């Protein structure tokens, strides 16, 4: 294989610090290692066992207990913690970030993360590139991380008016080296869209399993369940802590979408109660047709 | 390959009549043909084009327009229509069923089907074996039918006190020849369990897509959706007519479960509104843990 001399292949990262070596942070490190463009990865996290697993898997080269100490000579810092911890991490690292270091994150919400960064990172805010890789999975932790997770996936960057172009280029290039397609959105637009297509579906799936599980015969119920229920609630296997944080961080947009969904459910409920097949059928038909169009578009 | 002389391999069906040659009815016929235990399959249905596709695919050998005429010399009659048409089909075939013919169905609800059969089949009720193969798919129609659909799947029989043992044996044997595992449940128990694990998840998925699709920017929303949403709403691709009928047929049990689900959603909504991470996290954690236990059990 010949080495191609593209812009992105010139990317070199000396020291990458990953704070929160979970599915996303671990896969980011694994992908950059696989692409052979990072020299050294330092992992920071709460759970020693998870970090030890990442070290054994070769995803990180070193464990450092303290985030502030870890970032002192960092070139790129990736914040991969649940979004509820972002503020604490930023407060901890801000006094120690070197002037050239670029910081980015993988949080599923952007308005709250940007507000924290603006408040806590000081002059480093100009080198903070808010990002969101669309590549969740129902598994979590470093043991689920892989160097292929982002192949063909989309990563959304949400640079702000003051963000340095060099920082955006570095983060874009890193994600491209992970095999991802990089795009941009405004922070508010991002949060409103993901409230609908990601945060609401998680609430829907968690609430469905939780409602089933509250019954004494929950075990019996699940025993006869088919592939339909299995797929519908796959994302209820996602990290409860991560999704609790996301739902609280994106509260306003999510509540709007929960209310729209409740309205739809109540229309369906009333139609069922009244034996109104026309209304019920029209809801089901709208859903089937929209899903079909969406899949067609996704394939093209 | 040697022919094994088991009880089930002795099964021979001269003429099978499938009324409603969709995913389930078509796959039942295709499976029995594949097992080489049926001599002739006659298809009856509303849509000429669908029946012609089934004929071309070799799933049926003949199309007969009228269900009454079709069953005159049938050995086994399979009712594979949406459950809302079951009563009309039974009324049509009852005067023409030969005295030895066994009738069965593939409906997802059983109390309503049994009530119709008791009222409409007269003396033939003793040879009616209510059944429910747990093998849906988001595709429908004869073109989606395959001879492998029931491999390893569960089929639930719901025989009544007056059902002839010979009829139950025939239907059980036919399903076993399709590769299915056959079990039994009471009609009421069946409908309550499936309201929870199948009918409710369909309402949940249809309502989710419908709520998203009602927005002007629905197309844009779906454009960025990831694998999570795709799996969560897979079953919203199912036949709207079939599921409308199921929801109306199993109204009482389904309304109970919709209300339990609404309660759960409202608890989650209130926790999000109040920033109550403990309550929200406990719902998510209950769901994650229950799903994990369920999957473990399903694998064992």
Cα-Cα end-to-end distance for chain A: 30
pLDDT of residue B5: 37
Q: Say yes or no to pLDDT of B76 above 70.
A: yes
Q: Å from B74 to nearest chain A CA? A: 32
pLDDT surpasses 90 at A5 = no
Lowest-confidence pick of B72-86, B95-109, B218-232, B253-267: B218-232
Residue B287 lies in a domain: yes
- List the one residue out of B180, B196, B199 whose CA is nearest residue B131: B180
**Which tens digit of pLDDT belongs to each residue from B272-281?**
999 999 999 9
Domain stops at, among A156, A185, A214? A185
Q: Is B141 helix (H, G, I), strand (E, B) or coil?
A: coil
Do residue A130 and residue A262 come from a single domain?
no
For the segment B162-168, the average pLDDT, to the nearest whole number, is 97
Count the neighbouring beta carbons within 10 Å of the beta carbon of residue B270. 12
CATH at residue B268: 1.10.3660.10
In a shared domain, residues B248 and B295: yes
Instruction: Let me know whether A204 and A134 are in one domain.
Output: no
Alpha-carbon distance of A231 to B228, in angstroms, equals 9
* Cα→Cα distances A186→A37, A110, A157, Å: 29, 9, 9
Yes or no, beta carbons of A272 and B254 under 8 Å apart: yes
pLDDT recorded at residue B201 = 96
- Measured between beta carbons, which residues in chain A are less than 8 angstroms from residue B158? none
Contacts of A35 (CB under 8 A, 6+ apart): A177, A178
Distances (CA, A) of A107 to A133, A283, B137, B210, B287: 8, 33, 34, 28, 22
Mutate one of A294, A299, A300 to test the B interface: name it (highest B CB count within 10 A).
A294
Can you list the alpha helix ranges (DSSP code H) found in A178-234? 187-194, 200-213, 218-223, 227-232
For position A2, what pLDDT does the model report? Answer: 33
Mutation choice for B interface testing from A199, A235, A288, A298 by most B CBs within 10 A = A288
Nearest residue in chain B measured CA to CA from A215: B260
Among candidate residues B185, B219, B254, the one where a domain is terminated: B185
Residue B8 has pLDDT above 90, yes or no: no
Residue B41 placed within a domain: yes
Do A15 and A149 lie in a common domain?
A: yes
Yes or no: say if A59 and A32 are a contact pair by the CB < 8 Å rule: no
Q: What does the alpha-carbon distance between residue A41 and residue A60 come to, in Å, rounded to a whole number?
A: 5
How far, in Å, CA of B258 to CA of A269, rounded? 7
Of B198, B257, B281, the CB nearest to A226: B198
The CATH code of the domain that includes A13 is 3.40.50.720
Question: Which chain A residue's Cα is nearest to B258?
Answer: A269
Q: Please answer yes or no on whether A269 and B263 come within 8 Å at the CB atom.
A: no
Q: Is the per-residue pLDDT at B216 higher than 70?
A: no
| One domain, residues A290 and A148 | no
Has residue A36 been placed in a domain?
Answer: yes
Same-domain pairing of A172 and A57: yes
Q: Which helix (H) or strand (E) holds A245?
A: helix A240-249
Q: Is residue B17 part of a domain?
A: yes
- Identify whether B107 is part of a domain: yes
Residues B86 and B151 occupy one common structural domain:
yes
DSSP H helical ranges for chain B: 23-34, 48-56, 67-70, 86-93, 111-120, 165-177, 187-194, 200-213, 218-223, 227-232, 240-249, 251-274, 277-299
Q: Is residue B105, in this structure, part of any structural domain at all?
A: yes
Give me the percent of chain A exceeding a pLDDT of 70. 94
Instruction: Indicate the residue of A194, A213, A220 with minimum beta-carbon distance to B290.
Output: A213
CB A23 within 8 A of CB A144: yes
Element (H, E) at B78: strand B76-79
* C-alpha to C-alpha distance for A132 and B70, rounded to whole angstroms: 60
| Least CB–CB distance from A240: residue in B247, B248, B285 | B285
A21/A128 Cα distance (integer angstroms): 19
Interface mutation vs chain A, best among B83, B108, B156, B224, most A CBs within 10 Å: B224
Identify the domain containing residue B159 by its residue range.
8-185
Partner residue facing B207 (CB), from A225, A268, A294: A268
CA distance B154 to B198: 14
Same domain, yes or no, for B193 and B152? no
**pTM for this predicted structure:** 0.86
Residue ending a domain, among B185, B218, B240, is B185
With CB atoms and an 8 Å threshold, state whether A287 touches B205: yes
CB pairs under 8 A between A and B: 308
Other Cβ atoms within 10 Å of A47 Cβ, number: 12
B91 within a domain of the structure (yes/no)? yes
- Summarised one tens digit per residue, pLDDT across range A76-93 is 999 999 999 999 999 999
DSSP A206: H
- Report if residue A241 sits inside a domain: yes
Same domain, A29 and A177: yes
pLDDT of B297 > 50? The answer is: yes
- Taking the CA of residue A84 and the nearest CA in chain B, the distance in Å comes to 10
Mean pLDDT for all residues in chain A: 93
pLDDT number for residue A227: 80
Verify whether the Cβ–Cβ distance B209 to A286 is below 8 Å: yes
Both A147 and A208 in a single domain?
Answer: no
Number of domains in chain B: 2
**Residue range B123-134: average pLDDT?**
97
What does the mean pLDDT of chain B come to? 93
Return the biggest CA–CA distance within chain A: 68
A4 or A163, which is more confident?
A163
Q: Name the residue in chain B with its Cα closest to that of A235.
A: B228
How many helices and strands (H and E) does chain A possess? 13, 9
B245 and B209 within one domain: yes
Same domain, A181 and A196: no
Coil vs helix vs strand at A274:
helix
- Give A159's contacts (C-beta < 8 A, 6+ positions apart): A129, A130, A168, A184
B215·A196 Cβ contact <8 A? yes
Per-residue pLDDT band for B299 (boundaries 50, 70, 90) equals low
Distance CA(B107)–CA(B191), nearest Å, equals 11
pLDDT of res. B300: 55
Closest approach of A168 to chain B, Cα-based (Å): 21
């Amino acid at each position: 294989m010949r080495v191609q001399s593209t812009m992105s292949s010139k990317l070199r990262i000396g020291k990458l610090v990953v704070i929160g070596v979970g599915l996303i942070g671990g896969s980011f490190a694994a992908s950059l290692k696989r692409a052979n463009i990072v020299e050294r990865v330092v992992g920071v996290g709460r759970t020693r066992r998870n970090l030890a697993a990442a070290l054994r898997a070769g995803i990180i080269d070193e464990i450092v207990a303290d985030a502030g100490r870890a970032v002192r000579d960092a070139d790129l810092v990736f914040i991969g913690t649940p979004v509820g911890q972002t503020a604490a991490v930023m407060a901890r690292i801000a006094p120690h970030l070197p002037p050239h270091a670029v910081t980015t994150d993988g949080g599923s919400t952007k308005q709250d993360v940007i507000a924290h960064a603006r408040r806590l990172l000081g002059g480093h805010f100009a080198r903070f590139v808010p990002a969101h890789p669309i590549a969740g999975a129902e598994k979590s932790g470093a043991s689920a991380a892989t160097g292929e997770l982002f192949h063909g996936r989309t990563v959304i960057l949400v640079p702000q008016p003051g963000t340095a172009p060099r920082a955006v280029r570095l983060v874009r290039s890193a994600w491209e080296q992970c095999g991802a397609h990089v795009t941009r959105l405004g922070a508010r637009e991002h949060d409103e869209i993901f409230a609908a297509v990601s945060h609401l579906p998680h609430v829907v799936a968690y609430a469905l399993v939780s409602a089933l599980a509250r019954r004494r015969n929950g075990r019996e119920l699940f025993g006869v369940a088919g592939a339909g229920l299995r797929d519908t609630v796959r994302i209820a296997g996602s990290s409860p802590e991560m999704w609790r944080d996301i739902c609280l961080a994106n509260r306003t947009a999510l509540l709007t979408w929960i209310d729209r969904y409740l309205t739809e459910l109540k229309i369906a409920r009333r139609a069922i109660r009244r034996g109104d097949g026309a209304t019920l059928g029209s809801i089901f038909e709208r859903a089937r047709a929209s899903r079909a169009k969406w899949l067609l578009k996704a394939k093209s």
